[in-house]
Chain A
Amino acid sequence: MAKSLEFEGVSKPYGPVQAVNNVSFSVERGEFFSLLGPSGCGKTTLLRLVAGFEKPEKGRILLDGHDITQIPPNKRSVNTVFQNYALFPHLNLWDNIAFGLRIAHRPEDEVRQEVQRMLKLIQMEDQGHKLPDQISGGQKQRVAIARALINRPRILLLDEPLAALDLKLRQRMLLELDLIHDEVGITFLFVTHDQTEAMAVSDRIAVMEKGQVRQIGTPVELYEAPKSRFVATFIGDTNIFEGVVSEKISTDHIWLRIEGLPPIQCYNDKQLNVDDAVHLSVRPEKIHLMRDMPEEKPKHNRLPAIVEDVIYKGDHTNFWVRIDGHRVAIIQQHSRFLLDEKPIRWGDQVWIWWHADDGYMLERS
C-alpha cells in the first residue's frame, strides 16, 4: 500500500515545551488512523501541522509523497472536521457544505449536484435550508463532515469530533464515521483522548505522550502487547507488578520474583535473563477468581486473596482483591444465570489464577 502521510523528524515547540518532539511515522492510504493520548500530549498540534495551521520548526510532512511542509492550509488537499464543528453561523447547511466548491469557483450545476450527494451521504437531504443554530449536535457533526468531504480531500482530519456529544450519540456517530470511511475510502486521521473511541474505529493507533509517539499498532497489538507501562495503563486497565527474573524454566518461560507474592511464571517473549528487572502486566479479564483452591496445573499461577471491593455491573462484575500489599483488579464475565450461584462478597477468602502466557512483560526503564 502507498503512503498517504509521512512525518519525518517533525518538531514543534510551544515556548519551552516541545509540543511535538522529533516525530517520524507514516500512515497508509485509506487507513483509519488515530492519534491517541492524554491532553497536552501533542496530538492536536500534530493534526494542526497536517492541516497547515502550524508550521513545524524541524522536519518534513509528506502528503502522497509530496512535501507539503511549506504549503499554506488553503492550498493543501486535506480538510478538517473541527472539535466544535465551526459551521458558519450566517450560512444555512446547504451553503456551509457548498463553501469549499464555491471558493474554488466550480460551476453552480456541479456545486448543486455535489451538495445533494453529500446531504444524502449524511442522511439530511431535506434539511439544507436550516441554519446551524437550528440543528442538534450530532447533525452539526455530520454537516461538518460533509463540508470537509465535498472537497474530495486526500486526508480527512478529525479533531476530537465526538467530544461534544453525549455517550449514546457518540457511539452512533462512531459507527457512522466508520461507514462514511468505508464509503469514501480516503485516509482518516482521527485525534482523540478516548481510548475506547480509538479502539472501536481505527485500523491503527499511534499512542502519544509528551510530544512523542510511544507506540503504533493495531488496537489488538496495543492492548495485548503494549511496549511500555504508559501504553499498558493508557489503553484499558491492567495490573502492573514490579519484578525481577529469578530463574529460567525453559527457553520460553521464566520465574519472576515479585515482592509479597510466591514465584510467578511468565512467558519469556523478550528473551530476558536472570536478574533483569521487568513490569508484569496482567489484564483484569485474564485473571480468574474462584472460591475454592484451583487444582495445580503447569504454567498456572494461583494465589490466595481477600476480596476488598465488588462492583456488580450486570454483564460482568469488577472485583478488587488484596494479596500481601498488592491490590489486584479482576473482571469476571457472567455467561451463566447468576441467581443460582452463591455470590462472592466483600471480605471473602478466595483464590485467583491466571495462565503464565496471559501475563505480558514490559521492560522496566
Chain B
Amino acid sequence: MKFKETALTFPSFGWLFLFFVIPTLMVFAFAFKPYDDFGGIEPGWTLNTLYEVLNPDFAVILWRTLWLSGITTAVCLAIGLPMAYVIARAHPRYKQSLLLLVVIPFWSSFLVRIFAWKALLHPEGFLKQALVALHIVQAETTLLYNAWAVLVVMIYTYLPFAILPIYSAAAKFNFQLLEAAYDLGASRWEAFVKVFMPGIQKGVFTALLMVFIPAIGAYVIPDVVGGTNGEMIGNKIAQFTFTERNLPLASSLSLFLAAIVLIPMSTIMILSGSGTSRLEATGVSKE
C-alpha cells in the first residue's frame, strides 16, 4: 500500500528531475565555466565569471530589480488582502463572479496585455491624454520607458497571484472567530490584525512567494515598457543568453538571483519549522 502510493509520484518526480533539476544544475554548472569571445564555453572551471557579477553596472540593475520586486510584492499584498477578505465574505451568489473577475485577465495572452499597457502609457495613448487633459501630468512627462511603468505593469500582472492564495486561505477561515473577537471587545481593525491575519498567514506567505519570485525574474515586462531606465536583471540574463551568447555570465546572474530568493526563504522555513516542532513537543510532554 505504502509502496503503491509512492509509486504514483514516480512520473511527476521523473518529469521534474529530467526537465527541472537537470537544467537547473546545468545552469549552475555553467556559472563556473570560462567563456570565449565567440559564444563558446571553454573547458575547465573558474570563479571569474561569478566575480564579473559584482561589477557596479550590475549592482545598479540588481538594486532596481530588488526594489521593484519588493514594492510590487508589498503593493500586491496590500491590495490583495482586503480583496481576498471581501471575496471570502461575499454572498455565495457574488463570490463566483468576483473570483471570475480576478481570473479573467488570464484568458488573454500575457504579451497582448503588456502591449495594451504600452498603448495606454504611450505619449499619444488614451491614459496619458486623459491625465494631461485633467492637468494631473504635464504634456512633456513620459509615462513609458522608465522604472515606474515597470512597477505599475508588474503590480497589474502579479496581483491575481496575491489574491488567489490569500483568498483560498480566507475561504477556509472560520469567520465566527471575528465575531468572538468583537464580542471580547476588539475593534474591527484589532480583530483583523490579531485574529484574521494569523489565521491566514500561510496564504499570505504563499502570496508573497508567488509575487516576489516571478517579479524578481521578470523580463518581458521591463523589456516592453521599461526601456533602458527600467531594465531588470532578467533583461541582462536574456541579453547575455540571446544577444551576446555569454551563457556562463547569464548563468552566474541566474545563480545570484536564485540565491537572493532561496537564502531568505529557506531561513524562514527552517526557523518556522523548528518553531512548530517545539510547540508540539511541549504539548505532548504535558499530556
B37 in contact (CB, < 8 A): no
Q: With contacts A86-B177, A86-B180, A130-B283 known, is A74 near B186, CB below 8 A?
A: yes
- Give complex CA distance A86, B181 in Å: 9
Question: In chain A between 39 and 85, which residues have their CB closer than 8 angstroms to a CB of chain B?
Answer: 51-53, 72-75, 78-80, 82, 84
Residue A99 is within 8 A (CB to CB) of chain B in the complex: yes
- B43 adjacent to chain A (CB < 8 Å): no
Residue contact B286 to A80, C-beta cutoff 8 Å: no
CB distance from B129 to the nearest CB of A (A): 47
Within the complex, the shortest CB–CB distance from A49 to chain B, in Å, comes to: 13
- Kindly identify which residue among B183, B184, B282, B286 contacts A126, using a CB–CB cutoff of 8 Å: B286
Q: Give B173-198 as 1s and 0s: 1 = Cβ < 8 Å from A's Cβ atoms.
A: 01011011111111100100011001
User: How many Å from the CB of B24 to the closest CB on chain A?
Assistant: 36
Interface residues in B153-207 by Cβ distance below 8 A to A read 174, 176-177, 179-187, 190, 194-195, 198-199
Once the chains are docked, how many angstroms separate the CA of A104 from the CA of B179? 17
Check A100 against B184 for contact (C-beta < 8 Å).
yes
Chain B interface residue number, banded: 20 to 34
Q: In the complex the two chains form, is A88's CB within 8 Å of B195's CB?
A: yes
Q: Does B134 contact A (CB under 8 A)?
A: no
A99 to B194, CA, bound (A): 10
Q: Are A103 and B283 in contact (CB under 8 A)?
A: no
Contact status B279-A151, CB under 8 Å: no
Question: Given the interface contacts A88-B195, A129-B282, does A100 sit within 8 Å of B177 by beta carbon?
Answer: no
Closest chain B residue to A76, Cβ basis: B183
Q: Are B177 and A72 in contact (CB under 8 A)?
A: no
Nearest-CB distance from A186 to chain B (Å)? Answer: 15
Given contacts A79-B184, A104-B185, contact A53 B286 (CB under 8 A): no
Question: How far is it, in angstroms, between the C-alpha of A78 and the C-alpha of B183 when the chains are bound?
Answer: 8
A88 and B179 alpha carbons, distance in the complex (Å): 11
Asked if A335 is an interface residue, CB under 8 A from chain B, the answer is no
Task: Give the chain B neighbours of A100 by CB distance below 8 A.
Answer: 184-185
Out of B179, B199, B283, B286, which one reaches A90, CB within 8 Å? B199
Instruction: Assess the A82–B180 pair: CB atoms within 8 A.
Output: yes
Cross-chain contact B187 with A74 (CB below 8 angstroms): yes
Chain B contact surface mostly:
helix
B185 near A129: Cβ-Cβ < 8 Å = no
Question: A131 contacts the other chain (Cβ, under 8 Å)?
Answer: yes
Q: Which of B179, B184, B282, B286 contacts A147 (CB 8 A)?
A: B184
Inside 8 A of A147's CB, which chain B residues have their CB? 184
**B186 (CB) vs chain A CBs: closest residue:** A103
Instruction: Evaluate whether A88 and B180 lie within 8 angstroms (CB atoms) in the complex, with A103-B190, A129-B282 already known.
Output: yes
Q: Is A134 interfacial (CB-CB < 8 Å)?
A: yes
Judging by beta carbons under 8 Å apart, are B286 and A79 in contact?
Answer: no
- Is A107 interfacial (CB 8 A cutoff)? no
- State whether the Cβ of A127 lies closer than 8 Å to any Cβ in chain B: yes
Question: Contacts A86-B174, A89-B199 hold; do A99 and B181 have CB atoms under 8 A apart?
Answer: yes
Cβ–Cβ < 8 Å partners of B184 in chain A? 74, 79, 99-100, 103, 147-148, 151
A145 to chain B, nearest CB (A): 13
- Tell which of B183, B198, B283, B287 touches A79, judged by Cβ atoms closer than 8 Å: B183
Question: How far is A62 from B185 in the complex, measured between Cα atoms in Å?
Answer: 19
The contact string, 1 if C-beta is below 8 Å from chain B, for chain A 98-114, is 01100110000000000
Q: A87 vs B182: C-alpha distance in the bound complex, in angstroms?
A: 13
A266 → B minimal CB distance (Å): 49
A88 to B183 Cα, complex, angstroms: 13
- A151 to B282 CA separation, bound complex (whole angstroms): 28
- Across the interface, which residues of A come within 8 angstroms of B185, CB to CB? 74-75, 100, 103-104, 151
Chain A residues with CB under 8 A of B194: 99, 103
Please indicate the chain B residues that have their CB under 8 angstroms from the CB of A52 in the complex: 182
The CA of A105 and the CA of B190, in the complex, are separated in Å by: 12
Q: Please give the residue numbers on chain A whose beta carbons come within 8 Å of chain B beta carbons, in ascending order.
A: 51-53, 72-75, 78-80, 82, 84, 86-90, 99-100, 103-104, 126-127, 129-131, 134, 147-148, 151
Please list the residues of chain B having a beta carbon within 8 angstroms of any beta carbon in chain A.
Answer: 174, 176-177, 179-187, 190, 194-195, 198-199, 279, 282-283, 286-287
Q: What 5 pairs between A and B have smallest CB-CB spacing?
A: A100-B184, A86-B180, A90-B198, A73-B182, A103-B185
18 extra interchain contacts, Cβ-Cβ under 8 A, other than A74-B186, A100-B184? A53-B183, A72-B182, A73-B183, A74-B182, A74-B183, A75-B185, A82-B176, A86-B176, A86-B177, A87-B180, A88-B177, A90-B198, A99-B181, A99-B186, A100-B185, A104-B185, A129-B282, A151-B185
